[in-house]
Amino acid sequence: MKLLTLLLSTLQVVLVKSLGEVSGYLGDTIILQSGVDPTWTLSKIEWSIWSNHTWIATYHKGRTNTERVHQFGQRLSLNISSGDLTIQNLTKDDAMEYTVDLLNTDDEEKVNKINLIVRELLQKPTIQAARSLSVNGECLMVLKCSSPDSGVSYSWDVIPSSVYTLDRSSARLSAILNTTQNSVNFTCTTTTNNIDHASSVVTLKCDDDEIQPPTQEPLKYQCRVKFAFPFLIGFLVGASIVTMIYCFGDKIKAAFQFLKGMPFILSHSS
């Protein structure tokens, strides 16, 4: 009994605390904070991964070692004052749970866990646009936004906001412009997880021969013709025609009557 009491008195119970999640982007640098008490003077730091607690960075008896696991190469650095771990040039394989075991000069111990999420920046969306020739001082613009990334949602911002538009929360947007209007900016934004986003802008006028993109090269003429016919016919002859006429009345009806016999001009911007 005395022996059992002696053994129990020598055991130290160390509670493991979760520090939550942190996120970084591919190729960026991130600092994993140890969560140490700022009054501590650290004598031991052990950062580990996986269920077998493989060390990746350690500090013990005045010696630092950050070259323990090949996966991290020379991308790790350890702050021996705060216990924080810096990871450079993030990769997808770095996304995991990390554990840090801290010991101070008074032999007080603390163990914390932190989960790292690695995100990939969204690529800029591409905007394709087609318009009718002007009819009674107005023209119909049809824009389509697309993204190389999957699982994104689309939204449009139009300046000035007074421009008649249909469905600003989808990949396709229709707008009615008049020839007396100055240039109109159409911005397509793609979003994922309500966090990451990317945008592209095109500037249009009713009497322009070309869309004026910010810095992107236009498609070749052959490519324009290839995409113009199926896109415009499929979109304008479909349900969107009925919806736009219903929503915007006689102005749209007049524009569509003219479009039946008129060509469209297609331009492209990313």
Per-residue tokens: 224? 């324009």
C-beta of residue 82 within 8 angstroms of C-beta of residue 66 = no
Q: What is the pLDDT of residue 252?
A: 52
Asked if the domains at 15-119 and 126-269 fall in one CATH topology, the answer is yes
- Residue 192, class by beta-carbon neighbours within 10 Å (0-12 exposed, 13-18 middle, 19+ buried)? middle
CA distance 64 to 195: 37
C-beta of residue 48 within 8 angstroms of C-beta of residue 107 = no
Cβ burial 98-110 (10 Å sphere, 16+ → b, else e): bbbbbbbeeeeeb
* Alpha carbon 143 to its chain's center: 22
Q: What is the pLDDT of residue 248?
A: 53
Task: Say which residue the tokens 């059992």 belong to.
Answer: 4
Q: What is the pLDDT of residue 250?
A: 58
The class of domain 15-119 in CATH terms is mainly beta
Closest CA to 195 of 117, 85, 100, 265: 117
CA distance 144 to 130: 9
252 residue type, one letter: I
Cβ burial 141-163 (10 Å sphere, 16+ → b, else e): bbbbbebeeeebebbbebeeeeb
Length of the chain: 270
Q: What is the pLDDT of residue 206?
A: 85
| pLDDT tens series, the chain, 270 aa | 444 444 444 445 678 999 999 999 999 999 999 999 999 999 999 999 999 999 999 999 999 999 999 999 999 999 999 999 999 999 999 999 999 999 999 999 999 999 999 999 999 999 999 988 788 889 999 999 999 999 999 999 999 999 999 999 999 999 999 888 889 999 999 999 888 999 999 999 987 554 444 434 333 333 333 333 343 444 344 435 434 544 555 555 554 454 444 444 454 444
- Domain locations along the chain: 15-119, 126-269
CATH architecture observed for domain 126-269: Sandwich (2.60)
